[in-house]
Amino acid sequence: MVLKRLELSKFRNFSNLQLDFNEGLNVIIGQNGVGKTNIVEAIHYLSLARSFRTNYDDALIKHGQEEATIKAYLDDEHRTHKIEITIGKDGKRVRHNDIPLTRLSTLAELVNVVVFEPKDVNFFNGPPSLRRNYLDVHLGKTKNLYLNGLSTYENLLRERNAALKKDNIDTIEIDVLQAQMVEASEVVTKGRAEFIRNLNEILPKVLKELDPSLANIKVNYKPFVTLKGDYKTNAEAVFNKAKANDYKYRSTSVGPQREDFITELNGQDVSEYASQGQKRIIALALAISPYFIATNRQKRPIIVLDDALSELDANHQQRLVKFINKFNQTFITTTSFPYQGSELYEVTKNQKVIRRRFV
């Protein structure tokens, strides 16, 4: 999938903006504060109908306006897709080829966008929820079965936690919900395990391109249950063992919602032993790797790298730019870009965008 045209109306600081893009590398350049990230934020919004910068859609609407619109035209090998998202104070509306979408999750099936942003360097030292979200986002965009399984499990988890908080706990209700959670959790935990197996094949190859000294890398998944033997038997045993604790603290203490993974460099935990520079490059590689995990060309994501060059030295910048030039389509924001052969979109202080080719 390739984004050919993006139109913004009353989105962030842009009143009206129309941009045409090419395959390959598209560079959005400009001083800090002019709106570079707003453009790639809109591109990412096409995939999940949510921002990677804020949980509040109101922040996306230009000050003093009632709604914002993102319109995009994307090409795959077979046809053009028109996506239009209207963001209002009372919610959002999404249309695909002028037909309303009733499920926002359908967007992820149509448009796959992955993003790297500066705060991703905190990925390794942050809470496990950051790392689970990484798995859930990438798996949810490419595997409907996983997305459905995760949604089912999360709904059951909410029901079980609510049941545990009742004054008189209904143990039969807890057992029924637990049996359903075991079944749903199998899709989630096995899906994550498969993704990480694939990631461990791809990630060292990506890092070999970005920084060969970091290629001895491994991701260790920490599932809540052993994956050896019969899954349901093992999962039921874990839930049953935790049941007394769950009754005591009125909350579900085991399950996919407690899982994590650890990234190791040369056998040592990246969160403890890697430098900030090394963490940044490894985080970049984790953002890029799903491109190669996608099973077919049309599932391969559009890559968005927000301010990815700012903390890299010249050597690592050159390596990154050379590598991402191989992708279907990449968007990168930066304050300067001295590399030839790219489409440049210069954002000015008055929110105009000047397109030029750097040859």
Domain of residue 252 covers: 126-293
Rounded-to-integer distance, Cα 191 and Cα 154, Å: 15
Rounded-to-integer distance, Cα 116 and Cα 131, Å: 14
Reduced to 3 states (helix: H, G, I; strand: E, B; else coil), residue 73 is strand
| Global pTM value | 0.90
Cα dihedral 69, 330, 336, 278 in deg (nearest 10):
120
Instruction: Give the tens place of pLDDT for each residue, 279-308.
Output: 999 999 999 998 888 765 566 789 999 999
- 320 and 266 co-located in one domain: no
Check residue 359 and give its pLDDT: 52
- 242 and 231 co-located in one domain: yes
Check residue 351 and give its pLDDT: 78
Residue 220 is part of a domain; what is its CATH number?
Answer: 1.20.1050.90
Instruction: Give the tens place of pLDDT for each residue, 167-216.
Output: 999 999 999 999 999 999 999 999 999 999 999 999 999 999 999 999 99
Rounded-to-integer distance, Cα 32 and Cα 348, Å: 10
Longest dimension (CA), the chain: 72
Check residue 341 and give its pLDDT: 64
And the tokens for 62? 């230009």
Q: Domain for residue 119, yes or no?
A: no
- 105 and 24 co-located in one domain: yes
* Average pLDDT, integer, range 271-281: 94
Weakest mean pLDDT among 36-45, 111-120, 239-248, 264-273: 111-120
Mean pLDDT (the chain, rounded): 92
- 301 and 329 co-located in one domain: yes
Angle at 209 between CA 206 and CA 212, to 5 degrees: 100
Rounded-to-integer distance, Cα 359 and Cα 343, Å: 9
Instruction: Give the tens place of pLDDT for each residue, 78-124.
Output: 889 999 999 998 999 999 999 999 888 788 888 989 999 877 888 99
